Amino acid sequence: MDHGNLLDSNEPFLAGATVDRMRELVIAGEFRPGEKLSEHHVATKLDVSRNTLREAFRLLTAQGLLKYIPNRGVYVAAPDEAAVIDIYRVRSALQTRAVQVANKAHPGVLRMRTLANMASIASQKSDWKAVESLDLEFHRAMVTICDSPRLNSTFDLLLAELRLVLGQLENTACVYEPFVQLNLRIATSLESGNNEAALGLLDGCLIRSERAILGALQRTRMGLYRRE
C-alpha cells in the first residue's frame, strides 16, 4: 500500500526506526553497493510510507550509506579506499577502548567466544560469506563491552560502510581466512583476563585487515578497469 500522501505525527520516530532497519539490512548484505533503490519496493518491503522512507533516505545519505544523484534517484553508496582508511581509524579507537576496559565475565566477551567458534566451523566448510558476517558480529560484540549505546550506534554505521566495501569485492575468502584463528585467540585472551595480550592481537588484526581489504578493493577495481 502506498501511504505517501498520509501525514503522521510519528514521522520523525518512524524515519529513525527505518534508518536503523535499513542499516541492519546493509550490515546483513541485503543491499548491494551501487544498487539503485526503488521507493515503492523498499517502502513495501519495510511497510512504511513514502514520506517516512524519503526522510530515512535523506538521513542515510547524510550518513554516507546512500547517494542521491539528481534526476537519477537514490543509490546505495560504494565506499572507496579513503573511506576504508577512515573506517579503520575509528575502529581502532573504539575497539582499543573496549578491550582496555573488558571484563572477562561481560556478556560481550561471551558472545565473542560464541561467534568466533561459529566462524571457525563455517571456515571448515569454506562458507566465507558466513565467516564474513560472523567476523563483523564478533567485532560488534567487542564494542558492546563499553556499555555505551552511542558507541554501539557509531560502530553499527562503520559496519554498514564496511559491508558496502566488502560487497564490491569478488572474493572475501582471502580477506577473512587469516582472522578466524586470530579472533579465537582474542576471545581466549579476554576470557583469561589478559587484556594486554588481547590488545596486541587486536592491533595486529586491524592493521592486517585494513591492508587486506585495501588490496582486495584495488585488485577488484583494476579488474573492472581492464574489462572496460
Report d(CA 208, CA 139) in Å as an integer. Answer: 15
Mean local confidence (pLDDT), 51-75: 94
Mean local confidence (pLDDT), 56-74: 94
Report d(CA 193, CA 83) in Å as an integer. Answer: 34
Contacts of 129 (CB under 8 A, 6+ apart): 29, 172
pTM, rounded to two decimals:
0.85
β-bridge partners, 36: 75
Of 6-15, 101-110, 178-187, the range with the lowest mean pLDDT is 6-15
Specify the pairing of strand 66-69 against strand 36-37: unpaired
Mean local confidence (pLDDT), 117-139: 95
Give residue 214's pLDDT: 94
Give residue 5's pLDDT: 46
Give residue 10's pLDDT: 65
pLDDT above 70 covers a percentage of the chain that reads 92
Burial 113-145 (b: 16+ CB within 10 A, else e): bebbebbeebbeeeebebbbbbbbbbbbbbbbb
Nine cell digits for residue 219: 585488485
Radius of gyration of the chain measured on its C-alpha atoms: 19
Domains along the chain?
11-76 (1.10.10.10), 81-227 (1.20.120.530)
Give residue 14's pLDDT: 87
The answer to whether residue 196 scores a pLDDT higher than 50 is yes
Q: Check if the beta carbon of residue 214 is closer than 8 Å to that of residue 207.
A: no
